[in-house]
Structure 1
Amino acid sequence: MFSIRQLYILVALGYTALLFIAMLMLRAFWFYPQEVEQALYIQQNEVHSFLVALELRDQQLSSLSDDYAIWNQSVDFTDTSDPEYLSDNFEPETFDTQSLAAAAILDRFGKPLYYAGFAAEALIPEPDYLADWLTSDSVNFMPDNQISSIELINQLPHLVSSSAIRLSDESTDIHGWMILIRRIDAEFIRILADVSRLQITLTEPPYAAAFSNLRMPIKDVQAARSGCITNNAGAASLCVTIQHGNGAGPSLINTPVLLAFLLISIIPAIIFIMLLKVIIDPIEYALKFLNQNNSSGQVRPLIFSKSPHVKELVELKKAFNQLVMTSKRQQIKLERISNTDRLTDISNRRAFDEALDKSWRRIQRHPQSIALILVDIDYFKNFNDHYGHQAGDSALQQVAKALAGCTRRTDEI
């Protein structure tokens, strides 16, 4: 016997290598750059979606600060420091409803008239961390009209919006500043993730001096992109990690490329069959035998009328016959699997339909009867909701085992 591989190996390897190199060059210089550009475009849009969602939250807080600032009562408070104004407008319910972490009111000279924090459903009058921040950074939040930024307050990122306090008649005189602050925590980020339809994770401070600015155009494709947003002073004040939907982007060699290469590589095999006439007769005989199997609906072992002298054909016969045996075993196993519920390991609906049809036909031929028992598990939904799906699955398995123990005769299912 001789090996077909020895006859074909030089031609097949040479053709396959040249074919692979040609496909790789075509992909590297044409298709792959386009795929990378498309992936980069998609990820840029996802980052933009996050920034837009953050901008919406910023606009909501800015509108709220404007509503409080351009109000005659707020102007009166800067002159009188009337405590009734605070009790009416800055009670715990206000902070909770508006998702505020802190608020501050400055007079026209930038001196704090009022500041308070909110945590654990309670107001914290004049907290030290807020006093420190107002002392160091409030000068940056005394605009002529309105300003907003993300700031690190007490080593945590916060969304800060400040509006100049004016009379409601659109007067240009500034009587002070209204500063509203929202904490950027995991819940805040979750809302942004829902709006932008992304998976976003908040990065806890402190932030590294070298960071990637999310407001700048991205230059590479990444499965998870970590970046920061700067405050008005240019320092990193909020850092997150965005999981991109298209993952790490395209790769130069991937499964479709390999599949295409494998499909095209069939050509050498066809040429090989045409050249090797010495194996045509055994192949035709084998094909005829397989067609007969297909027509009869039976899978029988392959038997050559004359023993072939080609090593691969002998091995093919052995492999096929082993496959026939495996197929028969798999068929029996598949019939059992197709008629068995995977969770409970008892007969499924398909098996029930077959058994019912078989039994019905039997009682049409003979004066017999059949019995059908329907079983329902009381309060199973409540049990499943309370103890969880694993416990529910376990309960189903135990009930199924108990029922299976009642079907002892061969004609019972």
Structure 2
Amino acid sequence: MYSIRRYFLYFFLFYSLILVLVFLGYRVLIEYPQDLATIEEHQKRELGSLSKGLSLSLNNLQAVVTDWAHWTDTHEYVQSPQDHQQYIQDNILSSTFETFDLIAIVYFNRDFEEVFAQGYSQQDETLIPAHQVLDFPLGNVFRSRIDPGQPWEGNGWMATNEGPAAFALQYITDSNEQEPPSGYLMFVQAITNSQIENLQAITRLQLEFKPTSLNDPETFGVVSLMTPELVEGFQLQRKRLLDDFTGTPIMLVTITHDPLTMPKLIGWSEILILLLLLVVPAALMLSIDRTLIRPLWRNTRLIRTMVDKGELQELPQQLPVLELEQMRKAFNNSVQLVHSQQKKLQALSMTDGLTGIANRRAFDEGALSAWHKALRQGEPILLAILDLDYFKSFNDTLGHPAGDEALKCIGSTLTQFCRRSSELCARIGGEEFAVVITGEDKASAEQRIQSLRQSVEALAIHHPGSDIAEVLTCSIGALYIQQPGADYRNLALSELLTLVDKELYRAKQQGRNRVSFQCYSLPHPCD
């Protein structure tokens, strides 16, 4: 069996465990997947922004090559290159390559035969032969994919000796775009650091471009940059392939997402929330412990002390719970009832049931207390024993009911006789009564005892069996000690009562219905 405090502790621990499990379950099964899905959607948009940024770069290059290809001077040059060399001298300059970040310009006729090609080294900032940049027959590649002479335009990516690059191809016509295609113009643009920085600024991604090929083991399992889905799910860093216009990977792009968007299963915010959720029941438990358990524990400890000492007392500590407070009040009422009953029982144990005056037990305690008080204060004390004359004959003649009534009358007479709080009267036997009086001088004490005998006789209770009178009478033996001092401390109460018995016996011997009064002092009785 455990204490209520331990039960509350177990409840708190169980509640905390359930709370943590529910919180973690909600976090793991509901909230975290939602956060993860949100972050994945955000990363998907970032990849989409990267794809759109690259597409925008291709579109810008397409716009530039279109502006050049749909120009009458270009149209005339392709139709008759020998007659328009001035066109090359005026337009194919280093400044042209630098302005558009180009590394190659190629002119084709309508059958994708190369008319003119020029390369550019960005490192040396000089014009170089085109085959140093493009070392493969572009005409054959395009011819196999495009019907010659068609008004075709397109863009994409290709591998060059200068590294992966963007290209844009546009059919050539006059400025009014009325003439049929006379050839094709291709611009090849290098991927520069400024372009990468612009993409990073737009997408908030960290990008790293690295040339690659199909034989590169790093490309195994890596999907194309144009793939719209996050095949790996949430990742802080992922890799994508940039394919050329034939679908062959030419560049490995390492993409690092914004680290601030990294979802955490359990972060500081979740820990704080969990702590707050645990602090509330902890504070509640401490409040309950202070306002309920502690008062209840104090009352319980007090009850345990009562049991150990065998003394009942009311519980002073109030309880905040109505039912417990009602229990406390009921306990206090029970204690009051027990005390009341104890007083009644004590009164019954100290009272003679017939006469209503003190019994022998009460007399022994009261007489002993009066004797000790007399010894302490040195005041006079009178001990007397009253015995009804021929009372056995009274009962035999008139019956016990009459005898009981007579005893009640004697009890009432004694009660009227001992009116002071320091005086005691008691029934100590069948027809024997005792009286203790303190603070009276000898003459007054002797007079009062004589008046007591006369009061009994004055009751005029008819006694047909008496040899000395027609009414019920009594004999009294009295012992008076005028000034008990230190010499009397060794004198026990029982010894005094023995002396009083002797005086009663003397009164009986002298003819009954009389008082034998003796003034006692050490070492001899006084006169």
Listed one character per residue, the Cα deviations across residues 46-78 of structure 1 (whole Å, up to 9, x for unaligned) are 112222222221111101111111122112212
Deviation at 1:177, TM superposition (A): 0.7
Deviation at 1:95, TM superposition (A): 0.8
Gapped regions of structure 1 (runs ≥ 5): 282-413
Retained in 1: the 8 A contact 2:118–2:129?
yes
Partner of 2:169: 162
Matches within 5 A, 1:302-381: none
- Give me the whole-angstrom Cα distance separating, in 1, the residues matched to 2:140 and 2:264: 50
Deviation at 1:243, TM superposition (A): 2.3
Retained in 1: the 8 A contact 2:112–2:140?
no
Q: CA 1:276–1:210 in structure 2 vs 1: closer, same or farther (change >3 Å)?
A: closer
Partner of 1:307: none
- Give me the whole-angstrom Cα distance separating, in 1, the residues matched to 2:70 and 2:139: 24
Partner of 1:38: 38
1:176 pairs with one of 170, 180, 183: 183
SS at the partner of 1:130?
A: coil
Deviation at 1:44, TM superposition (A): 1.5
Retained in 1: the 8 A contact 2:103–2:133?
no
Partner of 2:286: 273
Partner of 2:273: 260
- Give me the whole-angstrom Cα distance separating, in 1, the residues matched to 2:174 and 2:138: 24
1:108 pairs with one of 107, 110, 123: 110
Taking CA–CA contacts closer than 8 Å with sequence separation of 6 or more, which of the two structures ends up with the larger relative contact order?
A: 1
Partner of 1:210: 221
Retained in 1: the 8 A contact 2:49–2:203?
yes
**Structure of greater Rg:** 2
1:22 corresponds to which letter in structure 2?
A: V
SS at the partner of 2:136?
A: helix
Q: CA 1:197–1:247 in structure 2 vs 1: closer, same or farther (change >3 Å)?
A: closer
- Give me the whole-angstrom Cα distance separating, in 1, the residues matched to 2:286 and 2:202: 60
Partner of 1:127: 131
Q: CA 1:145–1:190 in structure 2 vs 1: closer, same or farther (change >3 Å)?
A: same
1:227 corresponds to which letter in structure 2?
A: R
1:147 pairs with one of 146, 150, 154: 154
Q: CA 1:183–1:236 in structure 2 vs 1: closer, same or farther (change >3 Å)?
A: same
Retained in 1: the 8 A contact 2:112–2:139?
no
Retained in 2: the 8 A contact 1:223–1:247?
no
Listed one character per residue, the Cα deviations across residues 277-320 of structure 1 (whole Å, up to 9, x for unaligned) are 59979xxxxxxxxxxxxxxxxxxxxxxxxxxxxxxxxxxxxxxx
Listed one character per residue, the Cα deviations across residues 255-290 of structure 1 (whole Å, up to 9, x for unaligned) are 221211111112342244245459979xxxxxxxxx
1:230 corresponds to which letter in structure 2?
A: D
TM-score of the superposed pair, with normalisation by structure 2: 0.48
Partner of 1:97: 99
1:270 corresponds to which letter in structure 2?
A: A
1:226 corresponds to which letter in structure 2?
A: K
- Give me the whole-angstrom Cα distance separating, in 2, the residues matched to 1:125 and 1:273: 87
Q: CA 1:108–1:136 in structure 2 vs 1: closer, same or farther (change >3 Å)?
A: closer
1:231 pairs with one of 241, 244, 258: 244
Q: CA 1:131–1:138 in structure 2 vs 1: closer, same or farther (change >3 Å)?
A: farther
- Give me the whole-angstrom Cα distance separating, in 1, the residues matched to 2:156 and 2:70: 20
1:83 corresponds to which letter in structure 2?
A: Q
Retained in 2: the 8 A contact 1:200–1:243?
yes
Q: Percent identity, aligned pairs only?
A: 23
Deviation at 1:30, TM superposition (A): 2.5
Partner of 2:60: 60
2:116 corresponds to which letter in structure 1?
A: Y
Partner of 1:76: 76
Retained in 2: the 8 A contact 1:39–1:246?
no
Q: CA 1:191–1:268 in structure 2 vs 1: closer, same or farther (change >3 Å)?
A: closer
Deviation at 1:151, TM superposition (A): 1.2
Q: CA 1:42–1:102 in structure 2 vs 1: closer, same or farther (change >3 Å)?
A: same
2:237 corresponds to which letter in structure 1?
A: A
Retained in 2: the 8 A contact 1:107–1:177?
yes
Retained in 1: the 8 A contact 2:237–2:255?
yes
Listed one character per residue, the Cα deviations across residues 311-346 of structure 1 (whole Å, up to 9, x for unaligned) are xxxxxxxxxxxxxxxxxxxxxxxxxxxxxxxxxxxx
Deviation at 1:202, TM superposition (A): 1.7
Q: CA 1:209–1:30 in structure 2 vs 1: closer, same or farther (change >3 Å)?
A: closer
1:244 pairs with one of 235, 246, 257: 257
- Give me the whole-angstrom Cα distance separating, in 1, the residues matched to 2:179 and 2:281: 84
Q: CA 1:269–1:163 in structure 2 vs 1: closer, same or farther (change >3 Å)?
A: same
2:109 corresponds to which letter in structure 1?
A: D
Q: What is the number of residues matched between the two proteins?
A: 278
Partner of 1:383: none
